[in-house]
Amino acid sequence: MNTLETNRILETLQSLYPNVECELIHSNAYELIVAVALSAQTTDVNVNKVTPRLFEKYPDVLALSLAAINDVQQIIKSLGLYKTKSNNIILMAKIIVADYDQIVPNKMKDLCKLNGVGRKTANVVLSVAYNVPTIAVDTHVNRIAKRLGFAKNDDDVLQVEKKLMRKIDRSLWSDTHHRMIHFGRYFCTARNPKCNLCPLVDICKEKNKNIIKGK
């Protein structure tokens, strides 16, 4: 991919989604990290249905660290993996209370020590809660990066993240992450991408495969 193509992709995504932000409802770093941890293998819409009750009952990290697991399970049981997620967010809260003075850490190495927090979740927290430029590679970003030629099909998520960071100006990392998620969620979906409407069809590596079934 050359610089001209990169710039065209970024400008197209910007014009499609000029104002982008995280779709997980949250009002602080605690609510965000819990919401992102709960979002694994489900949608933001589903997470947003359970978090108001969860945060009403457990309004801060200390309250969640003292929660009974059965109660948390009841509140989030509509989500997949709710038992594991309940366990993870309570243990995560305990560590934040014990080791970080009840403040969600703002360093990658510290975030990744928390239960249920991997590199993707950490990058979202750094970007959204702390305004640190990052590119969190979720399923949408991974797919779009490969279709548009930022990365190879057999690259793992860390390789995809590094290639995106190399090719995109740091000042655009966070916005591009959100724009790629929107593009993947609403336009270039996994199964029925809208190839026949796509302004990037000439750049796409999968257009021949998808344009036939594009809607």
Write down the H helix ranges in 39-134: 44-57, 61-65, 69-76, 82-99, 108-111, 119-124, 130
Nearer to ligand SF4 (CB atom), residue 127 or residue 210? 210
Taking the C-alpha atoms of residue 105 and residue 196, their distance in angstroms, rounded to an integer, is: 44
Nearer to ligand SF4 (CB atom), residue 93 or residue 145? 145
Which residues would be at the binding site for ligand SF4 (CB under 6 A)?
A: 147-148, 187-188, 193-195, 198, 200-201, 204, 206-207, 210, 214
Residues 41 and 84 sit within 8 Å (Cβ to Cβ): no
Q: Least distance in Å: CB of 197 to ligand SF4?
A: 8
Q: Least distance in Å: CB of 1 to ligand SF4?
A: 13
138 catalytic? Reply is yes
Nearer to ligand SF4 (CB atom), residue 34 or residue 145? 145
Residue 183, CA atoms < 13 Å, CB-side half-sphere: 28
Report the chain's terminal Cα–Cα distance, integer Å. Answer: 26
Two tokens at 74?
């009841």
- How many helices (H) and strands (E) the chain has is answered by 13, 0
49 catalytic? Reply is no
Residue of 85, 94, 120, 163 with catalytic role? 120
Nearer to ligand SF4 (CB atom), residue 38 or residue 151? 151
Give Cβ neighbours of residue 75 (< 8 Å, ≥ 6 apart).
Answer: 50, 53, 54, 57
Q: Least distance in Å: CB of 184 to ligand SF4?
A: 8
Q: Least distance in Å: CB of 104 to ligand SF4?
A: 35
Residue of 85, 94, 138, 175 with catalytic role? 138
Nearer to ligand SF4 (CB atom), residue 26 or residue 207? 207
Taking the C-alpha atoms of residue 80 and residue 13, their distance in angstroms, rounded to an integer, is: 31
Q: To which H or E segment does residue 9 belong?
A: helix 3-16
Q: Least distance in Å: CB of 138 to ligand SF4?
A: 16
| Tally of CB atoms within 10 A around 117 | 24
* Residues involved in catalysis: 120, 138
